[in-house]
Amino acid sequence: MTEQNHLLEEVLQEDKSLTDKQRQILIAATEMFAEKGFAATSTNEIAKKAGVAEGTIFRHYKTKKELLLSIVTPMMVKMLGPIIIKDMNKVLDKEYEHFEDFLRAMIKNRKEFLEKNLKVVQIFLQEIPFHQELREQFIEHVGKKVLNRFVQIIEHYQQKGQIVNIPATTIIRLTASTIMGHFATKYVIGAKWNDDEEINQMITFLMKGLAPEE
- Binding residues for its own copies, total number by CB under 8 A: 29
User: Is 159 a residue that touches its own copies (CB under 8 A)?
Assistant: no
Measured CA to CA, the distance from residue 34 to residue 175 in angstroms comes to 27
Closest distance to its own copies from the beta carbon of 130 (Å): 5
Closest distance to its own copies from the beta carbon of 86 (Å): 28
User: Is 162 a residue that touches its own copies (CB under 8 A)?
Assistant: no
User: Is 137 a residue that touches DNA (CB under 7 A)?
Assistant: no
User: Is 198 a residue that touches its own copies (CB under 8 A)?
Assistant: yes
Closest distance to its own copies from the beta carbon of 177 (Å): 2
Which positions touch its own copies (CB under 8 A)? 36-37, 39-40, 122, 126, 129-130, 166, 170, 173-174, 176-178, 180-182, 184-185, 198, 201-202, 205-206, 208-211
